[in-house]
Structure 1
Amino acid sequence: MDPFLLLLHSVSTGLSSSELTELKFLCQSRVGKRKLERVQSGLDLFSVLLEQNELSSEHTVLLRELLVSLRRQDLLRRLDDFEAGAAGGAAPEERDLRAAFDIICDNVGKDWRRLARQLKVSDAKIDAIEEKYPRNLAEQVRESLRVWRNSRKEDAAVSHLVGALRACRLNLVADLVEEDQQARARQSQSERGGDPAPLESRNLNAPTSRASS
């Protein structure tokens, strides 16, 4: 059975009637009035969003925004678990980026604005992120990284993140990212058999300054 559909079913069963009403209100700009009037459950709403290509297993941003608006951390954790599982089947570069994102989200904190500017995220987008997630620092950090990745597309690489972290003197976080990437490289090489590939071959040849942050 489709894991994404199972996720949506799980989220739907966890919604109260008042939360469904709130979600319908938030989706007014995306779903026509007549369709919303026929929505009686979370599954009804998700079905409409799926039909209109507003939602898919590859595009879960809207679902995350809706759950953040409800402040349902339990449901957000289910979404995180789904995305982590999906990452397992992603390309190695995408898995590396997602792992780096997790470390940065856990450790950068309020310095995320400085990092976002270093990554060339515009002030207008930073303001929009703060407005979208006013009371959720972790989502502010993650959304800024998503904006950067989407702007760079195939050029987005962990080495760019490490370089930006060091430029912001967030060297401890940069060290954590590099150490995790090295461990992942060793594990991957061990699973295939053979000696670990040089760090440079994984596009992590960022500045090596270890000045304390």
Structure 2
Amino acid sequence: MDRFLVLLHSVSTGLSSSELTELKFLCQGRVSKRKLERVQSGVELFSVLLEQNELDGERTELLRELLVSLRRQDLLRRLDEYEAGAAGRAPPEEQDLYAAFDIICDQVGRDWRRLARQLKVPDTKIDAIEVKYPRNLTEQVRESLRVWKNTAQEDATLPHLVAALRACQLNLVADLIEEGQQAQGLQNENEISSSSGSLMSWDSNTPASRAFS
């Protein structure tokens, strides 16, 4: 079953009629008036957005923007859990980057503008982020990191991010990221070692007659 569709269904069931009306209002620039008039549920609204390629499992920015406008932190947490699951299926270097994003969102606070400029995020984008999430500092930080990642593409690496933090004198945050990366590396080594040990133990317990048959 598609995890993103499950998420959209879960969000839809959590919406009140007044919240659905608000979402329809916010989608006026994306969905025709005729289609919006026929929408009677969150599922129907999300189906229209999916059909129009305004939304998909890899592009959740619009869904996040809509949920932020409703100030539904419970639904935003569900989206965070979905995105964390998607990050878990990403390559290891991207997983490290997503983990660093979480630390930065928790630690950087209002210094995010300085970090964004160090990462070469344009001032116009920074202003737009503040307008988009006027009362949600965490989303301002996370959105600035998303913009950087999407713009820098292959240059959006963990070493680049740590260097930018240190250039902004945010050394504690940089240290936390590096410590987390080292801890994850040790955990991976222990898991590999444990797995190898289990295989050796199984081999040693295999009867000779079976081993050479």
| Same fold flag (TM > 0.5) | yes
For the residues of structure 2 that align with 1:155 and 1:116, how far apart are their CA atoms?
15
The answer to whether residue 188 in structure 2 is matched with residue 188 in structure 1 is yes
For the residues of structure 1 that align with 2:189 and 2:152, how far apart are their CA atoms?
28
Letter in 2 for 1:53: N
Once the two structures are superposed, residues 15-65 of structure 1 have per-residue CA deviations (whole angstroms, 9 ceiling, x without a partner) of 011100110011111111111111000000000111111111111110000
Match of 1:59, SS state, is coil
Q: 1:159 is matched with which residue?
A: 159
Q: 1:143 is matched with which residue?
A: 143
Q: 1:91 is matched with which residue?
A: 91
Letter in 1 for 2:102: D
Q: 2:171 is matched with which residue?
A: 171
Letter in 1 for 2:8: L
- Offset at residue 192 of structure 1 (A): 3.0
For the residues of structure 1 that align with 2:192 and 2:83, how far apart are their CA atoms?
25
5 Å-filtered alignment, 1:2-41, equals 2-41=2-41
> Which stretches of structure 1, 4 residues or more, deviate above 3 A after TM superposition?
none
Once the two structures are superposed, residues 170-191 of structure 1 have per-residue CA deviations (whole angstroms, 9 ceiling, x without a partner) of 0000000111111122222333
Q: 2:68 is matched with which residue?
A: 68
For the residues of structure 2 that align with 1:12 and 1:2, how far apart are their CA atoms?
16
With normalisation by structure 2, the TM-score equals 0.89
For the residues of structure 2 that align with 1:88 and 1:192, how far apart are their CA atoms?
18
For the residues of structure 2 that align with 1:28 and 1:129, how far apart are their CA atoms?
21
For the residues of structure 2 that align with 1:110 and 1:120, how far apart are their CA atoms?
17
Match of 1:116, SS state, is helix
Letter in 2 for 1:97: L
Task: Name the structure with the higher helix share.
Answer: 2
Once the two structures are superposed, residues 81-124 of structure 1 have per-residue CA deviations (whole angstroms, 9 ceiling, x without a partner) of 11111111111111111000000000000100000010001111
For the residues of structure 1 that align with 2:119 and 2:96, how far apart are their CA atoms?
18
For the residues of structure 1 that align with 2:59 and 2:186, how far apart are their CA atoms?
31
With normalisation by structure 1, the TM-score equals 0.89
Select the structure of larger CA radius of gyration.
Answer: 2
Match of 1:128, SS state, is helix
For the residues of structure 2 that align with 1:119 and 1:155, how far apart are their CA atoms?
11
Q: 1:202 is matched with which residue?
A: none
For the residues of structure 2 that align with 1:151 and 1:20, how far apart are their CA atoms?
33
For the residues of structure 2 that align with 1:67 and 1:23, how far apart are their CA atoms?
9
For the residues of structure 2 that align with 1:189 and 1:53, how far apart are their CA atoms?
41
For the residues of structure 2 that align with 1:162 and 1:171, how far apart are their CA atoms?
9
Letter in 2 for 1:113: R
The answer to whether residue 130 in structure 2 is matched with residue 130 in structure 1 is yes
5+ residue gaps, structure 2: 195-213
For the residues of structure 1 that align with 2:144 and 2:43, how far apart are their CA atoms?
30
Q: 1:207 is matched with which residue?
A: none
Q: 2:42 is matched with which residue?
A: 42
